[in-house]
Copies of this chain bind each other. A is one copy, B any other.
Amino acid sequence: MSTADDGFRPLDENSLVEYIKATPSLLAKLGGAVDNLIIKEVGDGNLNFVYIVVAPAGSLVIKQALPYIRCIGESWPMTKERAYFEATALRAHGRLCPAHVPEVYHFDRSMSLIGMRYLEPPHIILRKGLIAGVEYPLLAEHMAEYMSKTLFYTSLLYTTTTEHKRAVAEFCGNVELCRLTEQVVFSDPYKVSQYNRWTSPYLDRDAEAVREDNVLKLEVAQLKSMFCERAQALIHGDLHTGSVMVTQESTQVIDPEFAFYGPMGFDIGAFLGNLILAFFAQAGHANEGNDRKAYKKWILRTIEETWNLFYKKFVALWNENKDGPGEAYLPPIYNHSEVLQLVQTKYMENLLHDSLGFGAAKMIRRIVGVAHVEDFESISDASKRAECERKALNFAKMLMKERRKFTSVTEVVSAIQEVDS
């Protein structure tokens, strides 16, 4: 357990205890003592190490980034500086929306280590709840709240150009994680890549069709450019249903290590796209006891409500702050109801289209790219799995190409139902 030149050393369960003992802000969260600790490494994450630490008088989570991608190994190096951007984003988003972001207790840059609130049971990863068929009545409301606040307040609708450019410059440093997204979301699925996989042989022809679809490739190129070029807000960058922990009353967004100033639609689309994946996976989870029909309706309602509540909350923040520090729409030009409504309607229409495009890209990559989702992976019958995946894939292809024709989320939900019937 030697210390590297830069002060970094990977922790294990033993050295972790020593680390906590030596770190007052962490020790305090455990009530000041490290006796009778229960430490569990929860290895369901893809990139990092996460330790749950429970003491008789308190608890916390320690997340450490190692200089490679955990699920692939040392052969795929990845800067551990991602922990810095994760901590910075957790704090920034936590300030804006404390109800839905776990508190950061401690950050150690040289150790790439974050100490944060332990989201205690019954919190589970949303994706697992969706697979189990559990309804979360507050999910849409909470996610709309989280996305509207984090995106609105970090955009030029609220921040000054000066602060915006300062923050954009800082998050340009998270370039390695941006590059990873560029590769696995916007590139690999559209070419032959050693990392791609799909439910073979069932989807062989479908995967090939993605690689040969010129119109799809045109659309994904434009989405990729937007991802690379457009610094619209401080986005989470990885907002799938595996980055959300839930109970019936609580919704908590974790894991923003991909955060940077990018297009808002990338976050909204990630969440909605993963709900659509969950929808198409339901047929694979149905059994005699539960045909999942009611649950599918709930997912569709959640998709619809998430966007509609997001819309309402985002525009409400805009109206509340129309005389605020934001420099995009200056009061003397835009603070008259007719023109304000005109620009807001256009802004939200564009944002819906961006979200549908990015959502579709996120769906496609989960079916024919490197990283798949448990929603489908947990369907053991490969032919049934492939059938679910094919429906989702075809819907996503249509959505990416036709996204500009949708004027409301209700039309999107209708389109999903049509494909499903």
> Which one of A15-23, A336-344, A413-421 is at the B interface?
A336-344
Instruction: Tell me if B156 and A179 are in contact (CB < 8 A).
Output: no
Given the known A-B contacts A162-B175, A165-B175, are A342 and B229 also in contact in the complex, defined by CB atoms under 8 Å?
no
Residues on the B chain within 8 Å of A332, using CB:
191-192
A213-240 with Cβ < 8 A to chain B: 214-215, 217-218, 221-222, 224-225, 228-232
Residues on the B chain within 8 Å of A221, using CB:
328-329, 334, 343
Residues on the B chain within 8 Å of A179, using CB:
161-162, 327
Instruction: Tell me if B175 and A228 are in contact (CB < 8 A).
Output: no
Residues on the B chain within 8 Å of A218, using CB:
339, 342-343, 346
Instruction: Tell me if A333 and B217 are in contact (CB < 8 A).
Output: yes
Distance A232 CA – B173 CA, assembled complex (angstroms) = 18
Q: Write the nearest CB–CB distance from A265 to chain B, whole angstroms.
A: 13
Q: Write the nearest CB–CB distance from A214 to chain B, whole angstroms.
A: 4
Residues on the B chain within 8 Å of A222, using CB:
346
Residues on the B chain within 8 Å of A217, using CB:
333-334, 339, 343
A334-356 with Cβ < 8 A to chain B: 334, 338-339, 342-343, 346
A residues with CB within 8 A of B: 156, 161-162, 164-166, 168-170, 172-173, 175, 178-179, 182, 187, 190-192, 211, 214-215, 217-218, 221-222, 224-225, 228-232, 327-330, 332-334, 338-339, 342-343, 346
Instruction: Tell me if B178 and A165 are in contact (CB < 8 A).
Output: yes
Given the known A-B contacts A161-B179, A178-B165, A217-B343, are A187 and B229 also in contact in the complex, defined by CB atoms under 8 Å?
no
Given the known A-B contacts A192-B332, A327-B182, A342-B214, are A172 and B165 also in contact in the complex, defined by CB atoms under 8 Å?
yes
Q: Write the nearest CB–CB distance from A334 to chain B, whole angstroms.
A: 7
* A168-B172, A169-B170, A224-B328 known, 19 other contacts, Cβ within 8 Å: A161-B178, A161-B182, A164-B228, A165-B173, A166-B172, A166-B175, A169-B172, A169-B173, A187-B330, A187-B333, A191-B332, A191-B333, A192-B332, A211-B333, A214-B339, A217-B343, A218-B342, A221-B328, A229-B231
Q: Which of B166, B190, B228 contacts A161 (CB 8 A)?
A: B228
Q: Write the nearest CB–CB distance from A314 to chain B, whole angstroms.
A: 15
Given the known A-B contacts A168-B168, A191-B333, A333-B187, are A228 and B338 also in contact in the complex, defined by CB atoms under 8 Å?
no
19 A-B pairs in the complex with CB atoms less than 8 angstroms apart? A156-B228, A161-B228, A162-B179, A165-B178, A166-B175, A168-B172, A169-B170, A169-B172, A169-B173, A172-B172, A179-B327, A182-B327, A187-B333, A191-B332, A214-B339, A214-B342, A222-B346, A228-B328, A230-B230
Residues on the B chain within 8 Å of A214, using CB:
338-339, 342
Distance A168 CA – B231 CA, assembled complex (angstroms) = 11
Q: Write the nearest CB–CB distance from A194 to chain B, whole angstroms.
A: 12
Distance A338 CA – B211 CA, assembled complex (angstroms) = 14
Residues on the B chain within 8 Å of A178, using CB:
161, 165
Instruction: Tell me if A225 and B328 are in contact (CB < 8 A).
Output: yes
Distance A338 CA – B173 CA, assembled complex (angstroms) = 36
Residues on the B chain within 8 Å of A328, using CB:
221, 224-225, 228
Distance A287 CA – B187 CA, assembled complex (angstroms) = 60
Q: Write the nearest CB–CB distance from A330 to chain B, whole angstroms.
A: 5
